[in-house]
Structure 1
Amino acid sequence: MGRRIVGVALSILLACFVLTPTAFAQSSETDELKAQLQKMREQMQAQQQVMDKMQQRLDELETKQRTQPQPQPTSQAAATASLATPASAPHPSTPPPYRPPSAPAGVAEPLPEGYIRLGDTGNLLKVDLVAQLDTMFDTTYMGAKDLFVPSSIPASGQPFYGTGWRSNLSAKQSIFRMDFQRDTDYGTLKVVYKNNFFGSGSGDMPYNLQTFYGKLENAAFTLLAGYNISAFTDIDVFPNTLDYEGPNSFTFKYTPQILFSPVLFTSGESKLTLPMSLEKPNADITVGNTGFNTYSRRPDITLGLRWEAPDWHVQWANLLRDLRVEAPNGQSRGSTGWATQLTATTKLFEHDSIQGWGSYGRGYANFLQDISGLGLDAAFDTDGNLHGIKARGFGAGYTHAWLENLTSSAAFGYLRISPGSNLLIADTQPKSTKFASVNLAWQFSERAMFGVEYLWGQNILLTDARGQGQRIQTTLRYDLNP
């Protein structure tokens, strides 16, 4: 019995020696797992803190982007010319305005989808090629046969008066245009180049530069420098004529300039701006054979106010000029030129629009379509003093959409000069001219248009002799990137 008890005791003691290391091993493994689990918890907490900081930074950037003011485009034009867009440029939040088929190509500010990206330079480029053929049938001789200019119509008693029908074909309204654009720290920078073929050289297609300028625009201002249409011109009211010249009384002039247009006030999508510019003076003065040359002591100055809304705008522009002549011996004469002009356009119904303009002043004939280049800014009187010549002009245009791709446009213009009775100018100069046109244009594809236009003009000389002429013009236009 005692031996059995001793055996059992020995067995129990042996089992304790055998099982004790296993128990110790299990306890050690549990502690190790607990340590690893705690370490993983600490790592996850650190990663969560990093993620919270990244989310906070992202929220700050998105809030800043939503509250930062975005650049607003300004309107611009060109019928050309015939390049001018007959409607105010839309703001980014509004759809682009309806452009009738008879609107000349390149009128509106180029649309973003027309651009391509120039590699990784940050520059965008839009290239537009317009091939156009005009066929013209005139009832009488026209001094400027490619253009319909009422002041060039022969009056009674002048050569070529009543000489009868004649025809002409011209491709001079064809256009090459490049628009570069990029975003900068100060706004959107654009460089625009455009030419047609109404130059003064020989041949059927002489080169003619129309625009070459740089423009920086943002929500606060627009700054333009280079060669462009004068700031006195409101190209957005140029009516949709197929003829390149357009209404006789429209003020239109290309010139080197610097233009600054700050935004004074905004209300929703409307804004009030104060366009002002310094432009190259180009005094157009009748000097005859007196030996005098024309010059100006200072640039032409323009100052205006423009209220622009998505569907309409109104503009008041003012012009101040210095008109002078000088002889080789140092003798000089001078006069002051000035003009004021009110222009407006508005959208009617869904696709129709109306444009209007009126100007008055002294010594600004070189800005008026029909009498530019005739020396009618100023003239000498019988005492040898220089005087600016009074002039005035007004007109209107209307565009109606018969169908989405079929429109008609009508335009009228009246122009008159009032020189003093003692001014030394030829009595064959025009005293007043009138202009009227109506057309029908069919946009038979997205990039092609065919139109027919009737034009009428009258020329009345200072002697009251008069003449009138008519033209029927057809136009076929292909536009690569409208």
Structure 2
Amino acid sequence: MLRSLLAGSCAMAFAPIASAQVAGSSDDLKAQIVQMRQQMEAQQQAMQKMQQRLDELEAKESAQEKAAQTAQATPVVPGRALPQSTPVVAAATAPVPSTPPAYRPPSAPAGVTEPLPAGYVRLGDTGNLLKLDLVAQLDTMIDNKYMGSADLFVPSSIPVRGQPFYDSGWRTNLSARQSLFRMDFRRETDYGTLKVVYKNNFFGSGSGDMPYNLQFFYGELDNEHYTLLAGYNISAFTDIDVFPNTLDYEGPNSFTFKYGPQIRFSPVLYRSGDGKLTLPVSMEKPNADITAIGNYSPYSHLADFTLGLRWETPDWHVQWANLFRDLGMQDKTSGQTQRTTAFASQLTGSTKVFERDSAQGWFSNGHGYANFLQDISGLGLDAAFTSSGVLRAIRARGWGVGYTHGWTDSLSSSASYGYLRISPSSDMLISQDLPKSTKFASLNLAWQFSQRAMLGIEYLWGQNILLTNMRGQGQRVQTTLRYDLNP
């Protein structure tokens, strides 16, 4: 439009020239020439101003186009306020890390670790981000004998010689209980990143094929100085980062695994490069698992406490955790109580090996922590009465190793082994049909045949040795098909 105005102005400026050519006298012509010069100077000044305005408008339009292109290429950062001129997007992706994520083998359990900040959506203008993950999984298991729970491979449930089902035949089962639903909320605050995490699978104790089971429901405040967690989560005594990549949900017999309400504080004591030293401390709901006699029932005066040290880097970590418990029994009728203290210590670690390989290991030892051990949880082996009526904690210990090898980015194998043993005193009033030691081994092959789907096969072996030294072995072949919507 401005260019049209310039053209029109030029036409108006030269119109008097045509008129001057028909003027009658030289004086009139001179006067007209003076007038034309004045008009031309005025038009020239006007044209210069209009040209300057045109240049300014074109520069402004060019700057706006570059700003729009930059805004499209720039990711939305959680917690950062958008410019007023930028509309709030209802569904915006959270930032992708500047460095590529660590290699995650296809056999890695779904939904165990905290997801990377990708795949989140912005919830309007609230400042909250949400990531949803749905995992649909089907496991097909073939056992060489009846071993109690058909959905879990538990060596302590393997029948020994002389027990029912010791010579039972093959058994087939299908299970979808490892399917899960997870929600991760996060937002930036003045004190750091605030997270609320929810997760459930279907390994509940109810009836039916898919009983509900809550795994996570906690809030966490995370910053460069500390982490503060409160809610329902895995015990701080557990180091989930060393859980081997088994397709079987239960995992190694000697792994310490316990969920419960808790509050956990993990200050950062020291940093060096990419490494940091933290001091995890937690107070957790007590859950005494004691063999009862007479009218006695388990109880605890105090909560369970954990205290540890953890050094971690992007490629490896080591953790030392300690568990302190108060175990008690109280007579329902007389109110008489018996108490004993319990303590356990655990050393865990994992490391990256080569480009796609990793190794894990754990060792635990103590008295009164059987309820934290995968294979013997719920069997009443935290403590027991002696023949003289004194309550004592039962000693237990366990160790295990795991190794994952990535053949390619989409094909991996994982192997693991675990050993567990309890050592009750000879005068303890417990059943002699309880396990004295168990062993566990697994080997699998997993194929990530698409970005969101995995197919795997795993061989499992277990041995159960009772306090009477009677023993039995069991085997399982399991296939797994998993669809993970938003890992």
For the Cα contact (< 8 Å) 1:413–1:435, is it kept in 2? yes
For the Cα contact (< 8 Å) 1:118–1:124, is it kept in 2? yes
Instruction: Look up the equivalent residue of 2:316 and give its one-letter code.
Output: W
Q: Does 1:316 align with 2:317?
A: no
Give 1:348's aligned residue: 353
Shift of 1:124: 0.2
Q: Structure 2 length normalisation: TM-score?
A: 0.80
Give 1:273's aligned residue: 278
Instruction: Look up the equivalent residue of 2:299 and give its one-letter code.
Output: Y
Instruction: Look up the equivalent residue of 1:394 and give its one-letter code.
Output: W
Give 1:418's aligned residue: 423
Q: Does 1:370 align with 2:375?
A: yes
Alignment equivalent of 1:198, drawn from 198, 203, 217: 203
Alignment equivalent of 2:363, drawn from 358, 366, 372: 358
Instruction: Look up the equivalent residue of 1:195 and give its one-letter code.
Output: N
Alignment equivalent of 2:310, drawn from 303, 306, 329: 306
Q: Does 1:455 align with 2:460?
A: yes
Q: Structure 1 length normalisation: TM-score?
A: 0.80
Give 1:474's aligned residue: 479
Instruction: Look up the equivalent residue of 1:310 and give its one-letter code.
Output: P
Shift of 1:93: 6.7
Mapped to 1, the partners of 2:204 and 2:125 lie a distance apart of 37
Give 1:47's aligned residue: none
Shift of 1:373: 0.2
For the Cα contact (< 8 Å) 1:198–1:206, is it kept in 2? yes
* CA deviation string 1:363-414 (max 9, x = no partner): 0000000000000000000000100000000000000011110000000000
Shift of 1:96: 2.1
* CA deviation string 1:119-145 (max 9, x = no partner): 000000000000000000000111111
Alignment equivalent of 2:111, drawn from 103, 106, 121: 106
Shift of 1:92: 6.6
Instruction: Look up the equivalent residue of 1:439 and give its one-letter code.
Output: N
Of 219-228 and 108-117, deviating more is 108-117
How many residue pairs get matched? 392
Give 1:125's aligned residue: 130
Give 2:18's aligned residue: none
Shift of 1:159: 1.1
Of 312-321 and 91-100, deviating more is 91-100
Q: Does 1:399 align with 2:404?
A: yes
Give 2:337's aligned residue: 332
Shift of 1:357: 0.1
Shift of 1:107: 2.4
Shift of 1:110: 1.3
Mapped to 1, the partners of 2:181 and 2:409 lie a distance apart of 27
Mapped to 1, the partners of 2:204 and 2:474 lie a distance apart of 24
Distance 1:94-1:305 versus aligned 2 partners, 3 A rule: farther
Give 2:194's aligned residue: 189
* CA deviation string 1:293-346 (max 9, x = no partner): 111011000000000011000000000000000012110001111100000000
Mapped to 1, the partners of 2:98 and 2:351 lie a distance apart of 19
Shift of 1:160: 1.1
* CA deviation string 1:234-270 (max 9, x = no partner): 0000000000000000000001000000000000110
Q: Determine helix, strand or coil for the equivalent of 1:113.
A: coil
Mapped to 1, the partners of 2:326 and 2:212 lie a distance apart of 31
Alignment equivalent of 2:288, drawn from 283, 290, 294: 283
Mapped to 2, the partners of 1:172 and 1:116 lie a distance apart of 28
Mapped to 2, the partners of 1:140 and 1:363 lie a distance apart of 32
Q: Does 1:213 align with 2:180?
A: no
Instruction: Look up the equivalent residue of 1:360 and give its one-letter code.
Output: N
Q: Determine helix, strand or coil for the equivalent of 1:173.
A: coil
Distance 1:322-1:375 versus aligned 2 partners, 3 A rule: same
Mapped to 2, the partners of 1:271 and 1:291 lie a distance apart of 50
Of 262-271 and 325-334, deviating more is 325-334
Q: Determine helix, strand or coil for the equivalent of 1:151.
A: helix
For the Cα contact (< 8 Å) 2:97–2:117, is it kept in 1? no
Q: Percent identity?
A: 75
Alignment equivalent of 1:163, drawn from 141, 144, 168: 168
* CA deviation string 1:437-462 (max 9, x = no partner): 00000000010000000000000000
Q: Does 1:297 align with 2:301?
A: yes
Q: Determine helix, strand or coil for the equivalent of 1:366.
A: helix
Mapped to 2, the partners of 1:382 and 1:454 lie a distance apart of 43
Q: Does 1:431 align with 2:439?
A: no
Query: Structure 1 regions of 5+ residues with no counterpart?
Result: 1-69, 71-90
For the Cα contact (< 8 Å) 1:94–1:310, is it kept in 2? no
For the Cα contact (< 8 Å) 2:144–2:475, is it kept in 1? yes
Mapped to 2, the partners of 1:206 and 1:351 lie a distance apart of 36
